[in-house]
Amino acid sequence: MNLFSIRDIENLTGIKAHTLRIWEQRYNLFCPKRRESKHRFYDCEDLKHLLRIAYLYNQGHKISQIACCSPEEMAKMALEAKPDTDNYEIFINQLTEASIDLDQPRFDKIMHNLILHAGFEKSMINVLFPFQKKIGVLWLTGQVMQAHAHFARALIIKKTMVAIDGLEKPAYTGGRRVLLFTPAGEHHDIPGAECVELPLLFMHYMLKKEGVPTLYMGKNVPLNMLETICSLQPVTQLYFLVIPNLNKCDMHEYLKEVASMFPNKEIVFSGLDACHCSCELTNVRLLKTVEEKRAFLKEGKEINQLTS
């Protein structure tokens, strides 16, 4: 059984520990267990119950009103509520609860409502990426199983692919074309690590939305395959993400090898550990900031206009 301290609950629900203690004493909303040391601890059922309470409280319901509801009534109210899209933490809490229960219909419904109200781009940036980090931390600290992390990741990736397919495919008429991939031989599916496939798919989505022709090759693409692809299809830029478990020396050697293999193409990379990589090669560009990524996306329109 997964157990949580009051500080864990504070971090997971966004409700301060002293507020939780007041609610417990004043409204008898929950009854935490006690260790021999008298410190409070909570199990998964407590966490789900408190996530619902935090959700309804952040929706504007008075805590005194929530306290009068049964757990079943709270669950019904949470499902029927229409969240304010500016309070993204509500959606993160809902997705966390659905993941703990491995409840796919509810997880899909939450994502559908989120994207309907906030749009796909804001949903990814403000909810789904932070949620993935949160579920990864929960896995690393032993508070959820590996199955929970894979469950959530698979559903988000599926939704992202649907969003990509829903965009009109840019016609390639010459000029800029981006090949997207992740390097071969790395472990991309460690739940506690950065999910590389998801941000790569999101970059694919954003490029397609901007009208930039792409070739999406996915993860674990070896260099000889990149060479074959570039010999058969016109490509002007190769974009990939830095894998956190590649050390700095390996990444530097990898960049040198790719840059020398494709001297007439621009190699563009970013990622969680990108700022730690040296980038002194003439045909290699590192995207460190959000502004640099936005500029990279916008290049497509200018180039396509010049070549059309």
CA-wise closest residue to 27 among 73, 68, 57, 55: 68
Of 110, 139, 165, which marks where a domain is finished?
165
- The answer to whether 230 and 258 are in contact (CB under 8 A) is no
pLDDT in tens, 30-54: 777 777 777 788 877 787 788 778 8
Q: Using the Cα atoms of residue 96, residue 97, residue 98 and residue 99 in order, give the sign of their dihedral.
A: positive
Place of tokens 């970013």: 270
- The answer to whether 237 and 285 are in contact (CB under 8 A) is no
186 shares its domain with 112: no
122 shares its domain with 45: yes
Q: If you count them, how many residues does the chain have?
A: 308
CA-wise closest residue to 14 among 44, 46, 43, 57: 57
pLDDT higher than 50, residue 245: no
Residue 190 structural domain? 178-307
Q: How many domains does the chain have?
A: 2
- The answer to whether 52 and 72 are in contact (CB under 8 A) is no
pLDDT in tens, 75-124: 777 666 555 556 788 888 889 889 988 999 999 999 998 998 889 999 99
33 shares its domain with 148: yes
Residue 173 falls inside a structural domain:
no
86 shares its domain with 235: no
- Report the alpha-carbon distance of residue 101 to residue 180 in Å, rounded: 34
Of 115, 130, 165, which marks where a domain is finished?
165
Report residue 265 as tokens: 């193409």
14 shares its domain with 160: yes
Residue 256 falls inside a structural domain:
yes
Place of tokens 């796909």: 120
209 shares its domain with 143: no
- What distance, in Å, lies between the first and last C-alpha atoms of the chain? 61
CA-wise closest residue to 202 among 307, 303, 127, 284: 127
114 shares its domain with 252: no
pLDDT of residue 193: 43
111 shares its domain with 194: no
Whether the model clears a pTM of 0.85, i.e. scores above it, the answer is no
82 shares its domain with 151: yes
108 shares its domain with 11: yes
182 shares its domain with 248: yes
Residue 172 falls inside a structural domain:
no
102 shares its domain with 187: no
pLDDT of residue 137: 66
- Report the alpha-carbon distance of residue 72 to residue 67 in Å, rounded: 12
Report residue 32 as tokens: 């935490």
- Report the alpha-carbon distance of residue 78 to residue 72 in Å, rounded: 10
Identify which has the larger pLDDT, 84 or 253. 253
Q: Using the Cα atoms of residue 117, residue 121, residue 123 and residue 126 in order, give the sign of their dihedral.
A: negative
Place of tokens 């929970």: 148
- The answer to whether 91 and 114 are in contact (CB under 8 A) is yes
pLDDT of residue 302: 46
pLDDT higher than 80, residue 145: no
Report residue 246 as tokens: 């590649």
Write down the mean pLDDT value for the chain.
Answer: 82
Residue 20 falls inside a structural domain:
yes
pLDDT higher than 50, residue 294: yes
| Helical (H) or strand (E) element with 28 | none
CA-wise closest residue to 124 among 136, 111, 135: 111
- The answer to whether 76 and 44 are in contact (CB under 8 A) is no
Of 135, 165, 195, which marks where a domain is finished?
165
